[in-house]
Structure 1
């Protein structure tokens, strides 16, 4: 029995010693890998401060490879790339712009703020973000749990506040929180089918070209306060799951056709210089257009208002259209403030639709009328 116990003790001691040695080797290997990652990261960041555009490009490609091979470091590297794009930059042949400082990411300032070389570096930085933030899966594939592609970097946060962005294109990208506050988009900008799973800030942004948010999805709260859309803005079929604040200026056409607003849609004091299209839009929460200004036609044909609608002191310089066979007001007796000259007509099923007041007055005289106007 004593010999057996000694043998078991020796076996246990050997097992523990072997396990400890394996753990030590694992830690040693892990530490070595981390040191190598740190060295590569430091060298790449130093390259971003080079006077030569080719060296800066090399730094970006090195960071891209590092992030692809080391998922735990992806957010840090995305932060660095965003910090580079936030640094001061003058678009060639335009007035100078001042971007916000890079914050905690201590990158040496770019010696030259203009020129074709720096433009190519910035386009490369944008391309890296666009390529690795793009989720190529369809909505059905995501719902079915199909895994993402190997080059997709999931759950990234991006901070491009104050950045000067060139022909920015992140179609089908999927990010968590995103800040573009006070950024300037030179040329066209495309966010078609992009998904923002967290809050998205576009306050005080300037879009100099046509902007697309077609079928974009905003899961968190969204801000477009004081944003300026110099040309057409396309939000057709976009989905806003939570509140959106949009007292923006739309100089070109503003398209929100078939858009879905689940939370409160704040368009108070927004300015629509071109045509505004909200045809077949769905407002499940409160729809607020108090003191908004529409200089051209405002189309709300077949729009659905489930919550309260506020159009107090709104200005329509031309036509305002709320008719349509599919138009719906689900709470005709709610706390609405409709534009002057429009009233809700109640259907037999209790829902309502908007109609011009003079049309309702003539319809009310028809024999057998089954509508009830609500002022």
Structure 2
């Protein structure tokens, strides 16, 4: 039986029909009103001022009145037949929906039972069965249920390879089998989020991936358009998790409190536009996270989004924005603790109406803005604290952008480490160079064109 039913049923929870008497009364009333409106319009268009009086009715006039009476009766009968046919169609459609839902539920129960089997092969069959059920779901709600079950499977407790007992072949085989099932779910999600204007696309649905352990997986070129995608409290460790070429447009994607503790997470060439992506309180303790790309094309695009890194801690990872384009939207790096590792903005471009807040603590990392271009928007370091490590602006270009290091109330604080602007070109950032000729703070190096007594 074909379960592909009209999209208008997606949110219908049951058939609701008015009493037939009420429907007929409303139908006749509407028909009379339409007839009166048509008659009045014709009357006005013809410019009629009254009716010609006929003291005696001729046989032709009487015959016309009889035809008119039969026409009214036939029209009323047609309206009744139309109402009855419409109600019958609605009942039939609802019956087809109920039957499709019943068959879907039976198949769903079987597929979920397969996920609970010990055999990895049976579990794989259950995963593919659930994906097929999501494609054939008669309502959007039932499709979301299938997606929820697959996401729930990924949230189950999981032991990564690094935590396996040493020299235990059986445990390793069980791990590899379970890993294949989990990565199959990730691939199915990827394939359905790549579909453009396709009835089997899962775009716009919600994906609850909270507290999932990712030891690899391919989500490249997916399109998160609409809906909510939640990776909060997840752990990325081990192998590479590939988000290259992903598009984040119109969705809310949450990486809050995520632990990047190993492996590589690659967002290179992704497009962050018209959506919200949270990395609040994320921990970058090991491994590499890429938001990079070529400046000549294919770089990660940040335009019109809100990207929030507030409260994150970078203590041992390499986080790269090399060659990224910041051309619009808001980016928050406030309360970020750069206490170790490397953060790379080399060759990045800040333009348009972008706003970037760096109210961060630079205490031990190497943060590089070498060859970065500040051509528009505002990049604000007013609340930054430079107490250790290296913040490198060498060969950066400062044009018409507003790069701010202080204000009337607060300003950047230099208490240690090195902040190097040597070789930078263009206009000096606001409130960076002392206006009273006082010496530069220790560790701050400026071009001679900005401050003759540079250190």
Structure 1 length as normaliser, TM-score?
0.76
Residue equivalent to 1:16: 83
Tell me how far 1:215 sits from its aligned partner.
2.9
Residue equivalent to 2:128: 61
Tell me how far 1:245 sits from its aligned partner.
1.9
Residue equivalent to 2:241: 189
Residue equivalent to 1:321: 392
Deviations 1:176-208 (A, max 9, x none): 322112212231112122233333222332332
Moved more, 181-190 or 263-272: 263-272
Q: Distance in 1 between matches of 2:291 and 2:284?
A: 14
Distance verdict in 2 for CA 1:315–1:221, change over 3 Å? same
Q: Distance in 1 between matches of 2:429 and 2:221?
A: 37
Residue equivalent to 1:298: 368
- Report whether the alignment pairs 1:172 with 2:221: yes
Residue equivalent to 2:53: none
Q: Distance in 2 between matches of 1:333 and 1:269?
A: 17
**2:398–2:428 contact (8 Å) kept in structure 1:** no
Q: 1:226 aligns with which of 277, 282, 302?
A: 282
Distance verdict in 2 for CA 1:29–1:364, change over 3 Å? closer
Residue equivalent to 1:126: 186
Q: Distance in 1 between matches of 2:450 and 2:231?
A: 50
- Report whether the alignment pairs 1:84 with 2:149: no
- Report whether the alignment pairs 1:278 with 2:345: yes
**2:378–2:404 contact (8 Å) kept in structure 1:** no
Alignment of 1:206-217 (within 5 A): 206-207=259-260, 208-217=262-271
Q: Distance in 2 between matches of 1:31 and 1:360?
A: 75
Q: Distance in 1 between matches of 2:403 and 2:181?
A: 54
Q: Distance in 1 between matches of 2:184 and 2:445?
A: 59
**1:330–1:351 contact (8 Å) kept in structure 2:** no
**1:91–1:114 contact (8 Å) kept in structure 2:** no
Tell me how far 1:172 sits from its aligned partner.
1.5
Tell me how far 1:363 sits from its aligned partner.
6.1
Q: Distance in 1 between matches of 2:191 and 2:362?
A: 38
Alignment of 1:98-137 (within 5 A): 114-135=174-195
Q: 1:39 aligns with which of 87, 106, 109?
A: 106
Q: 1:337 aligns with which of 393, 402, 412?
A: 412
Which has the higher Rg, Structure 1 or Structure 2?
Answer: 2
**1:133–1:156 contact (8 Å) kept in structure 2:** no
Distance verdict in 2 for CA 1:233–1:272, change over 3 Å? farther
**1:211–1:233 contact (8 Å) kept in structure 2:** yes
Distance verdict in 2 for CA 1:315–1:262, change over 3 Å? farther
Q: 1:160 aligns with which of 202, 205, 209?
A: 209
Residue equivalent to 1:142: none
Q: Distance in 2 between matches of 1:20 and 1:128?
A: 40
**2:359–2:380 contact (8 Å) kept in structure 1:** no
**2:338–2:361 contact (8 Å) kept in structure 1:** no
**1:45–1:59 contact (8 Å) kept in structure 2:** yes
SS state of the match for residue 228, structure 1? strand
**1:177–1:198 contact (8 Å) kept in structure 2:** yes
Distance verdict in 2 for CA 1:282–1:155, change over 3 Å? same
**1:277–1:298 contact (8 Å) kept in structure 2:** yes
Q: Distance in 1 between matches of 2:118 and 2:228?
A: 32
Tell me how far 1:276 sits from its aligned partner.
2.2
Tell me how far 1:350 sits from its aligned partner.
7.4
SS state of the match for residue 287, structure 2? coil
- Report whether the alignment pairs 1:288 with 2:362: no
Structure 2 length as normaliser, TM-score?
0.64
Q: Distance in 2 between matches of 1:297 and 1:52?
A: 48
SS state of the match for residue 209, structure 1? strand
Residue equivalent to 1:139: none
Deviations 1:254-308 (A, max 9, x none): 2112432731422534235333211224283242243233434633543426142
Distance verdict in 2 for CA 1:164–1:358, change over 3 Å? closer
Moved more, 276-285 or 335-344: 335-344
Moved more, 334-343 or 222-231: 334-343
**2:381–2:403 contact (8 Å) kept in structure 1:** no
Gaps of 5+ in 1: 97-111, 136-146, 367-372
